Structure 1
Amino acid sequence: MIREDLRADCSNCYGLCCVALTFSKSADFAIDKDAGEPCPNLQEDFRCGIHSKLRPAGFQGCTVYDCFGAGQKISKLAGSSWREQPGQRMFEALPIMRQLHELLWYLAEALERPETKSIHPDLRAVSDQIEKLTLEPDVTTVDLPGEREAVNELLLRTSALVRGKQSKKKERRGADLFGARLRGADFNSANLRGAYLIAADLRDADLRKADLIGADLRDANLEGADLSGALFLTQSQVNAARGNQATKLPTALNRPPHWD
Structure 2
Amino acid sequence: MPHNVQGPVTERDDRAELRADCANCSGLCCVALTLTRSADFAVDKEAGQPCRNLQEDFRCGIHTELRTRGFPGCTVYDCFGAGQKVSREIFDGRDWRGDRETARQMFQVFPVVRQLHELLWYLTETLSLAPAKPLHGEARRLLDETERLSRLPADASAELDVAAHRETVAELLYQVSARVRATAPRPRNGKKRDRRGADLIGARLRGADLRGADLRGAYLIAADLSGADLRLADLIGADFRDADVSGADLTDSLFLTQAQLNAARGDAATRLPSALRRPAHWDR
TM-score by length of 1: 0.97
Percent of aligned pairs sharing the same letter = 62
Q: Please tell me the residue identity of whatever aligns with 1:230.
A: S
Partner secondary structure for residue 169 of structure 1: coil
Structure 2, unmatched stretches of 5+, are 1-12
Q: Please tell me the residue identity of whatever aligns with 1:110.
A: T
Q: Larger relative CO (CA 8 A, sep 6+): 1 or 2?
A: 2
- Write the deviation string for residues 167-220 of structure 1: whole angstroms up to 9, x where unpaired: 652111111111011100010111111111111000000001100001111110
Moved more, 50-59 or 160-169: 160-169
Structure 1 residue 154 and structure 2 residue 166: aligned? no
Partner secondary structure for residue 112 of structure 1: coil
- Write the deviation string for residues 203-253 of structure 1: whole angstroms up to 9, x where unpaired: 000001100001111110101100001100011111111111111111111
Distance of 2:80 and 2:175 partners within structure 1: 23
Aligned residue pair count = 260
Equivalent in the alignment of 2:59: 47
Distance of 1:242 and 1:144 partners within structure 2: 32
Partner secondary structure for residue 27 of structure 1: coil
Which residue among 68, 93, 99 is the counterpart of 1:85? 99
TM-score by length of 2: 0.89
Structure 1, unmatched stretches of 5+, are none
Give the alignment of 1:1-260 within 5 angstroms.
Answer: 2-76=14-88, 77-79=90-92, 80-86=94-100, 87-137=103-153, 138=155, 139-164=157-182, 168-260=191-283
Q: Please tell me the residue identity of whatever aligns with 2:202.
A: G
Q: Please tell me the residue identity of whatever aligns with 2:96.
A: W
Equivalent in the alignment of 2:9: none
Distance of 1:258 and 1:243 partners within structure 2: 9
Q: Please tell me the residue identity of whatever aligns with 1:109.
A: E
Q: Please tell me the residue identity of whatever aligns with 1:185.
A: A
Distance of 1:194 and 1:217 partners within structure 2: 10
Q: Please tell me the residue identity of whatever aligns with 1:85.
A: D
Q: Please tell me the residue identity of whatever aligns with 1:65.
A: Y
Moved more, 60-69 or 24-33: 24-33
Partner secondary structure for residue 259 of structure 1: helix
Shift of 1:145: 1.9
* RMSD (Å), alpha carbons: 1.3
Q: Please tell me the residue identity of whatever aligns with 1:199.
A: A
